[in-house]
Homo-oligomer: A and B are copies of this chain.
Amino acid sequence: MNLSRVLVYGMGLMGGSLALAIREKFPNTEITAVVRSEKSKTTILTKHLADFVFLQNEFQTPNWSNYDLVVFSTPVESILKIIPTLPKSGNTIFIDLGSTKETIVSAVESYFGDITHNYISTHPMCGSEQAGPDAAVPDLYVDKLCILTSPKSASNASLEWVRSFWEKIGSWTLEMDSQSHDETLAYLSHLPHVISTLLVNVAGSNPTTKKEILESSKPITGGGFRDMSRIAGSNPDMWISIFKENQRFLLKSIDDLIQQLSEFRNLFGSDGSFDESQIRKIWELAIANKDEIRKTK
C-alpha cells in the first residue's frame, strides 16, 4: 500500500487521532494538515500530529494530486463545498469521516457523473465527548467499526484500497449504501445523543431534583444516570451539522420514540393500576433487542 503523502483536511479529535494512527502504522508517511485556527495549528505542531500545517486561508488552491490520500474531516457542510473542486482524474484517493452519508454521496455522484473516480465516503464510528486535536489519541479507531459507502462510479480498486487502509489502522469495516447508513445511524447514534441531552435537561428542570442536587456535596446519581448522560450536550457544531444532513431520519426516530413513550405512559391508569404483563413484554423485548444490536449475550 503506497502511502507517501497524506493530507488531513480538518484536524480535530478525529483527524488528529487518524494522524497518530498513521504515524504508528505508516511511519514513513508525510502528513499535511489543514485547520481553521492558529490554536489548532500550534497544538498540531507541538504534538507532532503533522509534518506541515496550513490554515485554511493559506491553502486556497490546493494541488490535491500531490497526495496519495486526502482525508476530509471537517463538518459535512464544508465537505459538500469542496467536492465540486476535486480533480476528475488522477490516482489520489479521497475519503471523508462524515457522520452522515446521503448528502455527501449525492454530491459526489452528481459531480463525477459517469466518470470513474476514487472517492469513498467512510464513517469511523468512534469519537468521544471531547473535541479538538488536543484530545487526539492513536488508538481511537482500533477495534471500532468503520462504515464504507461507495458512490456510483467509484473504482472498485479505490474501495478495496480504502478498506485495507482502515483495516490496517485497526478498524473493522462494513459496507452500507448511503440511505441505509443514515437511517440506521439515526436510530443507533443520533437519537441516543438527543435523548441523553434532553434527559439531563428534564432532570435539571424538576425543582425538587434541582434542590436536592444543589444541597448535596456529592452526586445523587447511580451508574445508570452517569452512563445515560455521558454524551449529553457534546459537540454542538457536529450535532447541528448532523441535524442538517440527516433531518428526515432523525425526526422519524424521534417520532418513533415519542410514540413508544406515549404508549408506555398509557399502560398506567389514573387509579394507580397498570398493565404489568405488557410492561414485562416491553422489558423482555428490550433484552432481545439489546442482545441483537450489541451482538452480546
Contacts and interface: CB of A to CB of B under 8 A. Distances in A.
Nearest to A206: B187
A204 interface: yes
Copy number in the complex reads 2
A148 to B, nearest CB: 12
A264 B261 CA distance: 15
A198 interface: yes
A207 to B, nearest CB: 9
B290 A229 contact: yes
A230 to B, nearest CB: 5
B257 A199 contact: yes
A223 B126 contact: yes
Interface stretch (A3-11, A48-56, A111-119, A271-279): A271-279
A224 B295 contact: no
Given A183-B209, A229-B294, A261-B257, A279 B219 contact: no
Nearest to A214: B292
B289 A257 contact: no
Given A192-B228, A276-B240, A203 B126 contact: no
A153 B89 CA distance: 85
Contact of A229 (B205, B239, B293): B293
Contacts of A294: 219, 221, 226, 229
Contacts of A284: 233, 236
Given A206-B187, A240-B279, A231 B227 contact: yes
Main DSSP-derived SS at the A contact region:
helix
A283 B200 CA distance: 10
Contact of A286 (B184, B211, B232, B287): B232
A193 to B, nearest CB: 6
Interface string A239-276: 11001100100011111111011101100100010101
B293 A224 contact: no
Contacts of A233: 283-287, 289-290
Contact of A184 (B127, B202, B208, B262): B208
Contacts of A243: 268, 274, 279
Nearest to A269: B247
25 contacts: A125-B222, A180-B208, A187-B203, A188-B221, A189-B224, A192-B224, A192-B228, A194-B264, A200-B286, A202-B260, A218-B295, A219-B293, A219-B294, A224-B230, A227-B227, A227-B231, A228-B228, A228-B231, A229-B294, A236-B284, A239-B279, A243-B279, A254-B264, A257-B261, A258-B262
The 3 closest A-B pairs by CB, nearest first: A233-B286, A204-B289, A233-B287
